[in-house]
Amino acid sequence: MAVYPATPTGACSKRTGSKLAKRSARSRSKTKEGYPSLRSWTMAQVRSKNTKPEIAVRKAAHALGLRFRLHRKSLPGTPDLTFASKRIALFVHGCFWHRHDCDKATSPASNVEYWTAKFDRNVRRDARNATDLRKAGWRCVRIWECETKDAKKLAGILRRKIASKPKAL
């Protein structure tokens, strides 16, 4: 194993691909200085992958013995989990962004026209992706953020929607 001497801050190192270099680059990108406003920075922190609800679904699915692939870009909508042997594409939707009928799907009080249009686009895109997946021979399953809070209920939902055999059409 090669040992490289420590370099002063800002100097180049032979360890450019190291975890330390990647970690420091990541932490610099999360600072607020590079954004035009605090709101812009706040919105940039909203993740689309590896969210807490998605990780809860992944853990529950794995505990049930289900094996899956993550974020298949070759499918419409880039499903969060795909079960290729069953041809099931699973989406873990946030209640706020995808307008579930629960308490989390509140609407912002400011800039109402923008948010209404934004939510409508999200819902239309979800429907279009589900239709495209069905046309490609995939079954589309949606799990809502509010359904991921209780692990036992989530396991039951996954068992019912994924592990069981689909009904004949």
Q: Are 18 and 26 in contact (CB under 8 A)?
A: no
DSSP 8-state secondary structure symbol assigned to residue 110: S
* 102-115 residue pLDDT tens: 888 888 899 899 99
76 and 149 in a single domain? The answer is yes
* 117-136 residue pLDDT tens: 999 999 999 999 999 999 99
The amino acid present at 144, given as its one-letter code, is W
* The total number of structural domains that make up the chain: 2
C-alpha–C-alpha distance, residues 161 and 141, integer Å:
7
33 and 112 in a single domain? The answer is no
Range of the domain at 139: 52-163
153 and 70 in a single domain? The answer is yes
C-alpha–C-alpha distance, residues 51 and 83, integer Å:
19
Query: Of 53, 103, 49, whose CA–CA distance to 79 is shortest?
Result: 49
Q: Does the residue 30 lie in any domain? A: yes
CATH of the domain at 108: 3.40.960.10
* 48-92 residue pLDDT tens: 778 899 999 999 999 999 999 999 999 999 999 999 999 999 999
Q: How far apart are the first and last CA of the chain?
A: 60
* 15-58 residue pLDDT tens: 445 454 444 444 445 566 777 777 677 666 666 778 899 999 99
